[in-house]
Amino acid sequence: MQRRSTRESSQVKKKMRRSRRIEENQNIALRNDKNDFGCGVCGDGGNLLCCDSCPSTFHPLCLGLNENLIKGDYHCPYCLCQFCGRYAGDAPRICLQCSRIYHDQCAQSKNNIVQRFRTYYFCGRTCRMVFDGIRSFTGAKKEIQRGVSWFILLGIPGDVFRIPIFAVVLHIMEESFLPILDRWTATNMIRNVISSSTSRLKRLDCGGFRTAILEREGEVVSVASIRIHGNLAEMPFIATRQAHRRRGNCRLLFTAIEGALRSFGVEELVIPAVRHHAKNWKLYYNFQYLTGAMKLKLRSISVLKFPGTVRLVKFLTAQEIGESSGTANAEPVKPLEVVLALEAPNAAQVVEAAAVAAEVAVVDGAEPVEAAGAVEVAGAVEAQGNNVSQRPFLIPDLNYLPPDEDEGESGNS
């Protein structure tokens, strides 16, 4: 019996070593391969169409293309001029803010190009305004109410977590989420987003992310990750420190971010949400499923997508909010909004904080969606079989709500 158990144990060890070798060989192949192994839209593998200009790959179906009709070189949406839609060439202009590419001639013909510091270029006035606005916010604390303030920090690629404030941000994120690893490269997406790390793969490129931080009495209580692409912003993560949950902190930070985005001229905010929690975002924050037009727009913008999530959008302009709810003349949904007055770039002040955390819609004294704004993006909330929230109580039980008829559908599309 002892010999048999020894033999079995040696066989198990051999299988484990073989498994490790196979995994190592796969990782080497991934590193050496020119193209990405995951679709730039959905992240899955399979029969992928490779771009001839960059490592990005796509399912033809995800781009709405018929593979049989593609002849010659193929250039993906990331490699096309955002103005004329044609291949941008080997040395295109790259917008400093949104990182989208364009022909110099196309921008000049639209009188859109703005030069800054000789070497920096912007694709239009919107990106220039966003750049200047968010720059004025970066590192400058804005008071929301007595003892509560918020500010924005830009990540630094490298060992940024040696800096105390970023170490705290990472701790809060890891306290709220399980590790989110890319299935093809094993990239830790939470760390990359916080540090604003770039990648040659557009699907994994986290350059340009900033961290919004809410402080209460000098202590960091809530954090969120945001990135702005022209007039569209994405927020993949938002989380609250465990000891400060269910006190309205998450909503305070979300509202402050929303007000700042409006002041920058941003019109749309996109988040990823776990499908069975999408109705909470629709009900309490006026988000909706992507329309067909929004899906087309996102094909050419590198917005993070996580397995098991669905993208939602909130229109930040008053007219679009009314239209999205189906009643253009009706009052906006009850969730409060903090209005930021940017009369001078460095004098941004919160001039109205009416109906802060205590007066927002709550369920049994808890926030409707605590620690899950873009949180769900990464699977912040509990999801079956997915890398999401490790603490189910982050989201209060909303089972008393009637089932959402649209759930499982993609909104208006």
Residue-level pLDDT at 258: 94
- Most confidently modeled range among 219-223, 353-357, 405-409: 219-223
The residues of the chain that CATH labels 3.30.40.10 are 17-79
Residue-level pLDDT at 113: 55
- pLDDT bin (cut points 50, 70, 90) of residue 41 is confident
**pLDDT at residue 82 greater than cutoff 60:** yes
Q: If you average pLDDT over residues 192-196, what whole number do you get?
A: 93
Residue-level pLDDT at 183: 85
Q: Can you give the pTM of this predicted structure?
A: 0.68
- pLDDT bin (cut points 50, 70, 90) of residue 211 is very high
The tens digit of pLDDT for each residue in 110-134 reads 665 555 545 778 887 888 888 888 8
17-79 to CATH, choices 3.30.70.20, 3.20.20.100, 3.30.470.10, 3.30.40.10? 3.30.40.10
Q: If you average pLDDT over residues 33-45, what whole number do you get?
A: 83
Q: Name the class of domain 130-394.
A: alpha beta
Residue-level pLDDT at 360: 29
The residues of the chain that CATH labels 3.40.630.30 are 130-394
Q: If you average pLDDT over residues 2-23, what whole number do you get?
A: 52
Q: Is the CB of residue 314 less than 8 Å from the CB of residue 287?
A: yes
The tens digit of pLDDT for each residue in 302-337 reads 899 888 889 999 999 854 444 433 333 333 333 322
- pLDDT bin (cut points 50, 70, 90) of residue 90 is confident
Q: If you average pLDDT over residues 188-206, what whole number do you get?
A: 91
